[in-house]
Amino acid sequence: MNGLTEAATRKEWQLQSYIARYLPLKKGRVKHMKKMFWQLLAVVGMIMAGLMMTARADDLNYTVQANLPDNQINQKVSYFDLKVTPGQTQNLTLNIKNNDSKEHRYTVSPNLAVTNENGIIDYSQAKAKADRSLKFNIKTALSDVQTVTVPAKTTKKVTVKLTVPEKTFKGIALGGINIIQELSTKAKQSSSGMAINNQYAYVLGLQLQESDPTNIKPDMKLHQVKAKQRNYRNYVTANLQNTQPVIMHGLKIKSYVTKAGSSKKVLTATKENMSMAPNSNFDFAIGDGTQQLKPGKYTLHLTATADKGKWQFTKNFTITNKEAETLNDTAVTEKQTNYFWWFVALGIVIIGLLAAIVWLLLKNRRRQD
């Protein structure tokens, strides 16, 4: 009996010794694995956040409001729609309200309205090139760019001087006043790194007229047709011009390109809901940007309709060997796959695998306990 008691005591002592020596080590390993899991999870989270972040910027913390004057034609709109006379001078005022808890600087830039490459009237281009058909550039009648400092939680009135030319103009003169908050020094420094700093801008439209423009109809002209590259993709572009001082609304374009003398379409493009600024032009793109351009003689067929007109054009053009070679060598001609959701799915799989590993480790620990 004494021998059995001693043996049992020895076994118990060995078990206690085992628990005292090895169980803390296993607990430590499990704890270490937990720590590694959360570290890996944090890394995956940062990667996913980086992939999912399309743009991050401070919240829009200011507002702009036009003070509509007595010569405002339409009181129901929020932009300047003014009836003016030759030689007239007028101070246009607007309020910038800084809702932030710190002071900000704002750039106030009067601009000419143009038509951008997407067929949209654009008021934000400070260095917009005037169309050759333009008789009155509204930007020349407005005061220069100015920088305004607005204290925190304060509203400040800004004045833009308008001087109408002595010579009478017909139709509509169209422009805009662009107000943009300047980036802070810290944001400018970080813009060279991985951070994305968006700048929001307010635009107040400015439309002037001396007489009723309803009797003036827009007119479209087709100018140069050529091979052109946009964002490393090849297109055939047709330069379209609105030659009249009125806005072209509801513009729809159907177009296609054939080999000269053939009816087979090699490039096509259809686009609706566009508009053109008075006396402006833009390059309309034909094709989807995925095809390589081949040298040769081609014909453009284009039909455009708007609320006050319809135009049809047929124009021959040539793509030279040199043009095709230069554009094709620098173009991205294959359709790019959108990998965003693949990355999202990969991140979910990684997180799931890590969770499964930790679950198995904890299960194994409970079994061993």
> Quick one: average pLDDT of 307-332?
94
Q: Give the pLDDT confidence of 245-284 residue by residue, as tens digits.
A: 999 999 999 999 999 999 999 999 999 999 999 999 999 9
> Quick one: average pLDDT of 238-244?
98
Selection from 252, 268, 158, 170 nearest residue 211 by Cα: 170
- 299: pLDDT confidence band, cut at 50, 70 and 90? very high
Average pLDDT, the chain: 84
In-domain check, residue 227: yes
Task: Decide if pLDDT at 327 tops 70.
Answer: yes
Which residues on adjacent β-strands are paired with residue 205?
176
- 345: pLDDT confidence band, cut at 50, 70 and 90? confident
pLDDT at 259: 96
pLDDT at 125: 92
Task: Please state the separation of Cα 270 from the chain's center in Å.
Answer: 22
Domain's final residue, options 173, 197, 215: 215
* pLDDT, greater one: 52 or 109: 109
pLDDT at 346: 85
Residues 232, 267 share a domain: yes
Residues 178, 276 share a domain: no
Selection from 147, 149, 28, 155 nearest residue 96 by Cα: 155
Q: What is the CATH number of the domain that holds 321?
A: 2.60.40.2360
Task: Decide if pLDDT at 101 tops 70.
Answer: yes
pLDDT at 354: 85
% of residues, the chain, pLDDT over 90: 66
In-domain check, residue 344: no
Task: Decide if pLDDT at 364 tops 90.
Answer: no
Task: Decide if pLDDT at 78 tops 60.
Answer: yes
Lowest-confidence pick of 89-103, 151-165, 183-197, 304-318: 183-197
Strand order in the sheet with 233-242: 220-230, 233-242, 280-286
| Domain range for 187 | 62-215
Q: Give the pLDDT confidence of 279-294 residue by residue, as tens digits.
A: 999 999 999 999 899 9
pLDDT at 63: 95
The encoded tokens of residue 106 equal 């704002």
In-domain check, residue 150: yes
CA 30, 31, 36, 42 torsion: positive or negative? positive
Residues 224, 307 share a domain: yes
SS3 258: strand
Task: Decide if pLDDT at 56 tops 50.
Answer: no
Residues 241, 116 share a domain: no
Selection from 131, 112, 115 nearest residue 271 by Cα: 115
Residues 248, 287 share a domain: yes
Task: Decide if pLDDT at 1 tops 80.
Answer: no
Q: Give the pLDDT confidence of 188-224 residue by residue, as tens digits.
A: 555 455 444 557 789 999 999 999 999 999 999 999 9
Residues 224, 178 share a domain: no
Q: What is the CATH number of the domain that holds 72?
A: 2.60.40.10
Residues 239, 319 share a domain: yes
Q: Give the pLDDT confidence of 127-165 residue by residue, as tens digits.
A: 999 999 999 999 999 999 999 999 999 999 999 999 999
Q: How many domains does the chain have?
A: 2
Q: Which residue has the tokens 């400070």?
A: 126
Q: Give the pLDDT confidence of 5-45 residue by residue, as tens digits.
A: 455 455 555 545 544 454 454 455 545 555 555 555 554 45
- Tell me the C-alpha distance between 162 and 142, whole Å: 5
- Tell me the C-alpha distance between 254 and 301, whole Å: 8
Selection from 91, 86, 134, 95 nearest residue 113 by Cα: 134
pTM over 0.85, yes/no: no
In-domain check, residue 338: no
Residues 312, 179 share a domain: no
pLDDT at 303: 98
pLDDT at 164: 97
Task: Decide if pLDDT at 333 tops 70.
Answer: no
pLDDT at 54: 36
pLDDT at 357: 86
In-domain check, residue 261: yes
Residues 140, 66 share a domain: yes
SS3 13: helix
In-domain check, residue 348: no
Task: Decide if pLDDT at 2 tops 50.
Answer: no
Side chain identity at residue 289, one-letter code: G
